[in-house]
Amino acid sequence: MPGVLSYESKKQTRSFHSFSEDVKRNRKFFHSFKFQEKIQMKDAGDFEEFIKKGIVKKQSPNKFRAEFLIKESEKNYSFLLQLLDKFEITDGNANTIIKLCYDILMETIRAKMLLDGYNASGFEAHKAEVAYLKVLGFEEKDIKFADQMRYYRNGMLYYGTSLDKEYTEKVLEFTKRNYLKLKILK
């Protein structure tokens, strides 16, 4: 089954009842990728709403931090290409590659925000950064896919979600295409 491969509870000593409650709360992670693709391809939100909520704050442009993030994204992108040159994509390395792709894109988006005088922090900061893609002129389908990546990355970090080779290949194609697009935006 493509998509999500497994779920592991954070506490190995939990009772079956607790684990089954986790499953109910996080059942989205148990469905096949095809089903998840339908439920997760939703609107990332309006960037202006994140400003109103105080998640995004207007500030002076921070060129120093933006340049640092751009250099980090360049190093990470170069490393990703080297990694792909030397290793085959498998279900076993899927999460690592997806997290790297996510970080590359988010570092670049944050840099653009900082250059434009915005900074996101706190709860929903990553969602706000994804929503910023709309300000940058990205198509809705790409914004939704980036938000799906955000959702899955969160699942990997906090719920033990494992993704597969099939989804990783889609993420790589998306990352290569949109990283280059982000880089040329002024």
Torsion of CA 11, 28, 140, 147, to 10 degrees: 0
Q: Give the phi and the psi of residue 35 in degrees, each rounded to 5.
A: -65, -45
Place of tokens 């709360």: 25
Average pLDDT over residues 172-177: 98
- Per-residue model confidence as pLDDT tens digits over 28-69: 443 344 444 444 555 668 999 999 999 999 999 999 999 999
For 87-124, the pLDDT digits (tens) are: 999 999 999 999 999 999 999 999 999 999 999 999 99
> What distance separates the 2 farthest-apart alpha carbons in the chain?
53
Q: Which value, to the nearest 10 degrees, does the dihedral of the CA atoms of residues 121, 58, 174, 92 take?
A: -10
> What pLDDT score does 3 carry?
57
Query: What is the DSSP secondary structure assignment for residue 122, as one 8-state letter?
Result: S
23-27, 73-77, 147-151, 165-169: segment of lowest average pLDDT: 23-27
Domains in the chain, start-ordered, CATH in brackets?
Answer: 44-184 (1.20.120.330)
pLDDT at 38: 45
Q: Residue 186: its pLDDT value, please?
A: 61
Q: Which residue has the higher pLDDT, 39 or 85?
A: 85
d(CA 36, CA 52) in angstroms, rounded, equals 30
Contact in structure between 92 and 162 (CB atoms under 8 Å): no
* High-pLDDT (> 70) share of the chain, %: 76
